[in-house]
Amino acid sequence: MTVPLDIRNDIRSMDADGVSRSEIARRLHVSRNTVSKYADMEDMSPVAPVRRARERPGLEGNGPWIEKVLDEDLSAPRKQRHTAKRIYDRLVEERGFTGSYSTVRRFVAEFRRERSSGAGEGFLELEWAPGACQVDYGNFRAAIAGETVELKLLVATLPHSNDRQCVATMSQRSECMCAGLVEIFRRWGRAPRVIVLDNATEAGRMLRGTVTESRLFSQMKGHYRFESRYCNPYSGNEKGSVENAVGFLRRNLLVPVPSFGGLAELNAFLERGCAALSGKSCARDGRPTAEALAEDLAAMRALPGVDFDPVRWVRAHADKRGYVTVDGREYVAGPAWHGRDLLVGMRADTVEILADRGRRVAVLERAYGEGPAVRNPLSLVPALVARPRAFGESTIRRDMPEGLVAGIDRMDGAGRRQTLRSISRAAASSGFGAACDAALRVIEGGRVPDDATVDVLARRIAGGAGGGATGPDLAVYDGFLKGAVADAR
């Protein structure tokens, strides 16, 4: 039997509070083995759902489609979400389903029961005990790599000590929020016992006292063993500490509009700025924040030995070009994967594409908003190895040096296949640019690139050796590389 996330989180929280495992089993009506399993679990990060535990034969393989519909419902207005009857009608009309309505109804009920967080609003005290945290978002603008962009400022405060931390994110999506909180937990070296948010965040939505929490955030709760509470976003008194901190940090750290080479550089600046401001601030009782912060940290949870991986897994179908579309943006898996159902892992800064058995297809940069398809030249190589004549019209040509493209054009099919394969293998350790430069040097030396030569040269190029006229002599590699290129000296 699958144990719901809220029960797992209760087990881990009670175990962290020192409740005996037999008592936990009695209170939660689960077995002691179940308590031990989840209390001792080291890592609760999301894993790619590469295999289904069980498929109902009566659903005729439509289980993943139903799950996708129900997952998408979480972002829709409550009155516009699918009932089991509406899902059944769509299955019949759109997918030719011949099974019974009761099968669909049971599947939907089980899905919702397993993903129910069971969270409620509860009583929100205004005297904040050590170890409690408030979280909210603010908007700001910054120049990143010369381009002005609108960003989100994720702010977390410890009201007891008045310690304030912030992280810049590209979006409020659950994976971005969780990644930002992981970074803030790293700064503190501890995790809060309770986090108070409002329902304007992607962590969860509250309507009429009932919270629908995102699965990813709920998994993060279980990983770090904290509780979550939700309040009305228009009730500033319920989380006044963080609402004040949003404006304070924005005024003190982001005025005038800052400029940075990248998001990582901006967040390093924000970390230093938060540390400097906390060193000058005081708690509510007048003590220095650093003194009161020690009490906060003593009341917080120890971090687990494994960092949480904030990844949201989405099922997507690759079109005839090998493109998948997630969150309104296209990502290139590669033509070799056209027409395939793939798993797409959405992280704050990267997108990982997996095939059916967990085989990695591509890792791409995460993109936000409108724009061209996000691609990695290496994703095109498998199809070109299978059909080397297609190189003449492939978009990969624009990513390669002109000399390398001209050299490959002069080769026959076998030479093209060997060259592209050697670039692909060398790029795995040295990067695509270094692998192309290495292959070009081999071609300029009058030979067809092979795996060993390109790999060694690419590693040296990536490491800064360069292999130019003043670089190290590579002739020592001649013996085992079948005559390494003389011009690489």
pLDDT for the residue 178: 95
pLDDT for the residue 477: 44
What's the CA gap between 172 and 181, in Å, rounded?
A: 12
pLDDT for the residue 395: 79
pLDDT for the residue 357: 78
What's the CA gap between 370 and 368, in Å, rounded?
A: 7
Mean pLDDT of 65-80: 78
**Whose CA is closest to 202, among 98, 327, 95?**
327
- Confidence band (pLDDT; 50, 70, 90) for 207? low
pLDDT for the residue 375: 85
Between 222 and 335, whose confidence is greater?
222
| 303 has pLDDT over 50 | yes
Mean pLDDT of 284-293: 92
What's the CA gap between 381 and 394, in Å, rounded?
A: 10
What's the CA gap between 69 and 90, in Å, rounded?
A: 11
What's the CA gap between 176 and 76, in Å, rounded?
A: 20
Mean pLDDT of 405-417: 92
Q: What is the mean pLDDT of the chain?
A: 85
**Whose CA is closest to 74, among 202, 197, 226?**
202
What's the CA gap between 225 and 11, in Å, rounded?
A: 9
| 471-486 tens-digit pLDDT | 344 444 444 444 444 4
Mean pLDDT of 53-73: 79
How many Cβ atoms sit within 10 Å of the Cβ of residue 6? Answer: 18
What's the CA gap between 69 and 189, in Å, rounded?
A: 38
Q: Are strands 312-317 and 323-326 parallel, antiparallel or unpaired?
A: unpaired
Q: Considering only 18-22, 123-127, 185-189, 387-391, which range has the smallest mean pLDDT?
A: 123-127
pLDDT for the residue 231: 77
Quote the tokens at residue 434.
């270094």
| 200 has pLDDT over 70 | no
Residue 75, φ and ψ in degrees, nearest 5:
-100, 5
- Confidence band (pLDDT; 50, 70, 90) for 58? confident
- Confidence band (pLDDT; 50, 70, 90) for 192? very high
pLDDT for the residue 471: 39
Mean pLDDT of 327-351: 91
**Whose CA is closest to 360, among 462, 433, 428, 434?**
428
How much of the chain, in percent, has pLDDT values that exceed 70? 86
pLDDT for the residue 74: 76
pLDDT for the residue 50: 67
| 411 has pLDDT over 90 | yes
- Helix/strand/coil (H, E, C) string of the chain? CCCCHHHHHHHHHHHHCCCCHHHHHHHHCCCHHHHHHHHCCCCCCCCCCCCCCCCCHHHCCCHHHHHHHHHHHCCCCHHHCCCHHHHHHHHHHHHCCCCCHHHHHHHHHHHHHHCCCCCECCCCCCCCCCCEEEEEEEEEEEEECCEEEEEEEEEEEECCCCEEEEEEECCCCHHHHHHHHHHHHHHHCEECCEEEEECCCCCEEEECCEEEECHHHHHHHHHHCCEEEEECCCCHHHHHHHHHHHHHHHHHHCCCCCEECCHHHHHHHHHHHHHHHHHHCECCCCCEHHHHHHHHHHHCEECCCCCCCCCEEEEEECCCCCEEEECCEEEECCHHHCCCEEEEEECCCEEEEECCCCCEEEEEECCCCCCCCECCHHHHHHHHHHCHHHHHHCHHHHHCCHHHHHHHHCCCHHHHHHHHHHHHHHHHHHCHHHHHHHHHHHHHCCCCCCHHHHHHHHHHHHCCCCCCCCCCCCHHHHHHHCCCCHHHC
Quote the tokens at residue 136.
């909210």
Domain ranges of the chain: 8-41, 46-116, 132-302, 312-375, 379-488
Q: Considering only 21-30, 52-61, 180-189, which range has the smallest mean pLDDT?
A: 52-61
What's the CA gap between 15 and 370, in Å, rounded?
A: 46
- The CATH-assigned architecture of domain 132-302 is 2-Layer Sandwich (3.30)
pLDDT for the residue 362: 84
pLDDT for the residue 473: 44
| 138-174 tens-digit pLDDT | 999 999 989 999 999 999 999 999 999 999 999 999 9
Quote the tokens at residue 329.
């943006």
Q: Select the highest-mean-pLDDT range: 209-213, 252-256, 359-363, 476-480.
A: 252-256
**Whose CA is closest to 189, among 96, 302, 279?**
302
